[in-house]
Structure formats: structure tokens, C-alpha cells
Amino acid sequence: MKKLICKILFLSFVVSIFTCAFSSCGVIKLDYKGKEIASIEYISVDYNGGVQSKSKIDFTTCGVYESYIIPGQEEDSYDYRLDYSFDSEISDDIINAFHNQGMFSLLPSYSNVLPIMDGGGWHFTVNYADGTTKTSHGSNAGPHLKFKNFDEAFFLLTGHEFLGYCDEEFMSPPMIHIDFGAYPDKDRAKGNYCVYDYSEGIYSSAYLWNNKKVDGDQMNYLPYFTFADHYESASYYRVSFTVDTSIFGFKKARAYSYTENVEDKQSVKVEKYSQYISGDNCVRSFRFEAEPNKNYIIELELKYGTAEYYISTKALEKEEQYKLIEMIDVVEYDKSTDNSIKYRTIFTTGYVIKDKNGPNVPSNNQWSDKYYITYNYNKEMRGDILSAFNDLGLFDFDRYTESNSESVTLEWELTFTYTDGSIKTYKTDNPEFKILLEEMDEAFFEIVGQYIFEWGYIR
């Protein structure tokens, strides 16, 4: 009897170990022992138009490649080109991550029970070093949880997604919405009366997010302390900020102020005044009292890490006001043909937009249907880009003069839009401006890895 009890206890102990290993206590990770893998390809197809997006992990070159095919629009399609490289030392980790998510044992085919004419499909291929392949495909169905789990593991290893299944909240801190109000009297500020208010969406300047650390000090300046004296009759200032995350994605909000040295920061009282559910997300709003000529740090502790957002109520000198630029439009006119081409670069979102009909037409009315997004880059590079353009003399507005010479065939119009909505427009036909555009493009490429313009003399 004692032996039987001992056996039962032993079996219970073994079962508990395996149960714990495969439950919240942790998951047993197994190394891949199969054939050598040369590359992995993933293709997604949109049935409405036939647009194909392809991604490939090549373990021989340690690169991730992208391809985009738009039927009937070959000029906007491209074959596999390098998107980014990864360290060869993590190749085995990537393959093991695939293996542990069951990506090498997918069913040959996945389909919806009911026939669906629109939607989309996908195709997954493992290319082995011996020349053989293993494929799986799906139509409006698939092992989406496996895809999501792998993509998150891949992101933690490389800082990028591969299959397009990572939630935006998983990859980077959310944008927060800033509202600033200047009030004539603190007691009256309890109502809705204010001298002037301002609203802007800003991205995190520094964060520790899913093992990825970014150290930055990108400052977002409240423009009403720079361009005008709207706040002159005010004696009370308030900053409100709103964060939109998944329902359980938020933990804590803090704020700090400092004048010059961030090490001397002081805690600022933060008040929560609004919260509501929107779909699967929860929108939370906070506010705190502010002062002129100070810097503020909003710190959010969220599900995937901690993020810091920098704002300032300091007045910028004239030569520093380029930091407030939200968007630049550059139009080139060819006087001999009466043709023009326009590019728009939006620094607050990281979009580069071109003025011709094509795919990815933005829904935002301010762009109209003449513009489409050629690509977008990391908006955290905004400060570096604007600083580089400033060093080149782009914001030396005295240089923009017209020669009115008949021998000059090219003319440029520049429009600078600031974060408070104000606009400055300049024209020039000085041939030296062509050189400046080349220098701008090279500086942009050094920072972002892509060009803004596609004019012949730049290429």
C-alpha cells in the first residue's frame, strides 16, 4: 500500500513538473534538429486588386528582404530588396523560435468553412539548403496565433516584425495627445474659459520597450510660447495628455519639470480626470499645472515598458524655430514644359508623400487624392533630420530670391508648415538651390536610408 502511495505521489510530482513547464511557470524550449534551412518566405495577397507583399529571411546573407507587386502598376512595384540585416549569431535563435511555435509543422492548407470571395490569402515556404522546400498556404484562414507568437519572438530578437502580425502597441510606445491651455485666472479655469489652447500628438523621446532601449531627448515645443503673445494675459497654464492603450496595457502616469539640467527634475502632481472604453482599448486623460520657460517629462509605465515624452514651454530664438516645423512641401516647376512635381515630408508622422495618383492614397483630406505615401520612416529621427537640414542652410529664408532670368528653366516653391498651423512660403529659381536639394537628399539618406526626391539629377 505504501509502495502504491509512493508511486502515485511520484507520478503526481512528475505530472506537476510538466504541467508547470508548459503553463504559466514557463515553456520548455526545444532546439531545431531538422534539415539546414536556407531561407523562409511569406507572401500575403489581397484579393481586392491582387496586391502582393512578400517577405524573405535569408540565412545565408543574414538579411530580410521585401517585395511589393501591384498588378498593372509596374512603376510602383519592386522585386526583393534588402530591408534590414541581422547578426548571424541570432540565426539559430530565429529558427528555434519558428520551431517552438510549430511553424515547421503547419498543415499544407488552411481554408474557411464558408467560401469567401474577397479578403486575402497567404503562402509560407521553407527553403532547405539541399534544394527541397516545404509549403503551406491559406485563404481567409490560418494559424494566426502561431504567426502572432512567432512575430513577437522575432521582434524581440531583431527589433522588426516579419509576418505583419505584431500589434503596434507591442512594437513601440503609443503616441500621446497633448493639449495646452492658457487661462486668465485659476478659479475661472475650472470652467472652459481660456485665452488660447493648442493640441498636438507627440511620440516618445526615450523608452525601454520589450528589451529595446532608446535614449533620446527630442523636445516638443509648445509654439504659443514662441510665435505670439497669446498667453500674455494669462496667469495659469495647464497641460493635458491622453493615452490610448489596450484595456490592461496601462499601469501608471507621472510628470516631472526642470529648467536646464534634467538631473534636477522635480515631481509634478498629475491628476486623472477622464477614462472611457473605446472598442478593445481604454482612453485615459491626465493633466497638470505648467509654467512658462520650463521643460517637462511625461513618464508612462505601460504593459510592455516605460516611455518618456518631452515637452517645453520655453521660447525659442528665431534661429531655432526650425524645431517647430511639422511639414515641408517642395514643388519643382519646369518652365519649359509647364510640368511640376511635389513632395511632402511630414516629420511628426514620418511620411514622405508624392503628388501623383497611385496606391496607398491617404484618407486624410488635407493631402487630397493627388498624394500617396511613397514610404514612411521612424518619426523619432525628426530632430536629427531637421537639425541636418538647418546645418545645410535650408531655413536661411533670406536666400530664397527670384532671379527672373529667362535662361533659368527650373523654379522651386517651398512651404514650411509649423506645429501651430502657421505657414511660410518661399520661391526661388537660383540654380544653386538644386545643389541644396542634392545635399538635403544625401543627408536624409544618411539618417533614414532612403531619399526624399526622385528627380533625375539626384539619382
Are 40 and 125 a contacting pair, CB within 8 Å? Answer: yes
- Cell 480626470, located at residue: 273
Annotation: CATH topology of 319-448: Mago nashi protein (3.30.1560)
The predicted structure's pLDDT at residue 228: 53
pLDDT confidence bin for 355, thresholds 50/70/90: low
Side by side, which strands form the sheet with 236-246? 196-202, 176-183, 236-246, 281-290, 271-278
Domain 176-315, CATH number (from 3.30.465.10, 2.60.40.10, 3.40.50.800, 1.20.1250.20): 2.60.40.10
Are 64 and 57 a contacting pair, CB within 8 Å? Answer: yes
Q: Is there a common fold for 37-166 and 319-448? A: yes
Average pLDDT over residues 117-134: 92
The enclosing H or E element of 147 equals: helix 144-158
pLDDT confidence bin for 119, thresholds 50/70/90: confident
Are 293 and 258 a contacting pair, CB within 8 Å? Answer: no
- Asked: is 37-166 a CATH 3.30.1560 domain? The reply is yes
Measured CA to CA, the distance from residue 331 to residue 334 in angstroms comes to 10
Measured CA to CA, the distance from residue 237 to residue 313 in angstroms comes to 10
How does pLDDT run across 63-102, given as a tens digit for each residue? 999 988 888 776 667 788 888 899 999 999 999 999 999 9
Q: Please give the backbone phi and psi of residue 104, each rounded to the nearest 5 degrees, phi first.
A: -95, 5
Lowest mean pLDDT among 264-268, 364-368, 390-394: 364-368
How does pLDDT run across 191-213, given as a tens digit for each residue? 667 777 888 888 898 999 998 88
Whether the pLDDT of residue 281 is over 60: the answer is yes
pLDDT confidence bin for 133, thresholds 50/70/90: very high
How does pLDDT run across 159-193, given as a tens digit for each residue? 888 998 999 899 999 999 999 888 888 777 666 67
Lowest mean pLDDT among 5-14, 66-75, 291-300: 5-14
The predicted structure's pLDDT at residue 3: 53
Helix, strand, coil % in the chain, rounded to nearest 5: 25, 40, 40
Residues of the chain with pLDDT > 70: what percent? 84
pLDDT confidence bin for 226, thresholds 50/70/90: low
Rounded to two decimals, the pTM is 0.75
Domain boundaries, the chain: 1-30, 37-166, 176-315, 319-448
The predicted structure's pLDDT at residue 10: 47
